[in-house]
Structure 1
Amino acid sequence: MACADCKFRAKYDENPKSLLGRFWRFHINFCPGWKAYLKSLSDEDRAKVAEKYGLK
C-alpha cells in the first residue's frame, strides 16, 4: 500500500512539527486509504502504529 511508503509519513517521522508532517497527521484522521491500510495490518502491527502516531 502507498501508506507504508508515503513521503509525507516519512516527513512526519523525521520531524513531526514540520509543515508536511503536521499535514500528514491531520490528513490521516479522515483518509480512506489510511483506514484501509490499518485494516490490512495484523492486530499487533496495528497496535504499534496506533501507539506510534497516537491513534485511538
Structure 2
Amino acid sequence: MKEFKDSIALVTGANRGIGLEVVRQLAARGCTTLLGARDLSKGERAAGSLKGSRLK
C-alpha cells in the first residue's frame, strides 16, 4: 500500500461514512489529515474517534 508520510490531505464531509473512512485510511498511511465537517459538534466527535492519528 502507498505511504503518505509527507503528505497533507483535506477531507470534506469527514464526520461520517465514506469521508470518515477516507480520513482513517489516509491517517493510517502516515498522511497528516484535516477533517472538514459542516457541523462542528459532529466533526469534533469524529475527530475524537481518531485520536492517535496524524489529524489536525
Higher relative contact order (CA 8 A, sep 6+): 2
Structure that is richer in strand per residue: 2
Larger Rg: 1
TM-score in terms of structure 1 length: 0.32
TM-score in terms of structure 2 length: 0.32
Structure that is richer in helix per residue: 1
